[in-house]
Amino acid sequence: MSTETQEVAKSREPLFSKKNRKLISDPLNENNPITVQVLGICSALAITVKLEPAIVMSISVFVVLAAGNVIISLMRNIIPNRIRIIVQLVVVASLVILVDQVLKAFVYDVSKQLSVFVGLIITNCIIMGRFEAFALGNTPWKSFLDAVGNAAGYGFILVTVAFFRELLGSGTLFGIEVLGNAADKTGLYAIGYENNGMMLLPPMALIVVALIIWVQRSRTKSLIEE
């Protein structure tokens, strides 16, 4: 009897209660999947040379994570415990294949740039981690919010890194020359500015991520270890 009343009370919880809002805001800062949990680093290194692929990658991860979290959450009471990891893997793999097919059909040029990294969303630890840690034990709506939060936290870092790498490495944003033309020596290049070619190489992504972690830790007291 007492459990029943609890469940009724639970279902009356407003859609954006304080607890639910926290599901979205936490992964943006204090529990960011990249900078705090240090997950999904490979893709953060690989596709952040330009802004456009970084954004498409973030959207793809969001779609896979949100759909996967909801599907896993809906099935959480009927998934046999012994094969739950396999079920999660099948869900994420099928969703990734779907995303890849859709990208190939509708944004072919971007899908060519992302090439193998779309397939590698499967191995993105953030996704399996959220399935296992959150969706298996929570309702679909909460799982969806959790996915939104984590995908946003991931995407935010990806886009920030891509912004600096594209701006400093190629002197462009979304392919538009914002600092002038390097070949014709116009804009900033006229006074001797040079693109930093190293920004285009994967190690610089790691360094940019590290700088973001530095800034974040110095601003968020709770993250500072003793």
49 close to 172: Cβ distance less than 8 angstroms:
no
Compute the least distance from the CB of residue 119 to another protein, in Å: 14
SS3 40: coil
- Residues in touch with another protein (CB under 8 A): 77-83, 86-87, 90, 94, 97-98, 101-102, 104-106, 108-109
Q: At what angle do helices 202-219 and 140-170 cross, to 10 degrees?
A: 120
Compute the least distance from the CB of residue 93 to another protein, in Å: 8
Q: Which is nearer to another protein, 75 or 179 (CB)?
A: 75
Instruction: Tell me the β-bridge partners of 173.
Output: 176
Q: Which is nearer to another protein, 14 or 80 (CB)?
A: 80
47 close to 118: Cβ distance less than 8 angstroms:
no
Q: How far apart are CA 87 and CA 71, in angstroms?
A: 11
Alpha helical stretches, state H, the chain: 2-11, 18-25, 41-46, 51-74, 84-106, 108-114, 116-119, 125-133, 140-170, 202-219
Compute the least distance from the CB of residue 82 to another protein, in Å: 6
Q: What is the largest CA-CA distance in the chain?
A: 78
Q: Which is nearer to another protein, 23 or 92 (CB)?
A: 92
Q: Name the token pair of 156.
A: 């935010």
Q: Which is nearer to another protein, 37 or 113 (CB)?
A: 113
Instruction: Tell me the β-bridge partners of 176.
Output: 173
85 close to 72: Cβ distance less than 8 angstroms:
no
Compute the least distance from the CB of residue 186 to another protein, in Å: 19
135 close to 143: Cβ distance less than 8 angstroms:
yes
Compute the least distance from the CB of residue 83 to another protein, in Å: 6
Compute the least distance from the CB of residue 108 to another protein, in Å: 4
Q: Which is nearer to another protein, 86 or 178 (CB)?
A: 86
Q: Which is nearer to another protein, 52 or 146 (CB)?
A: 52
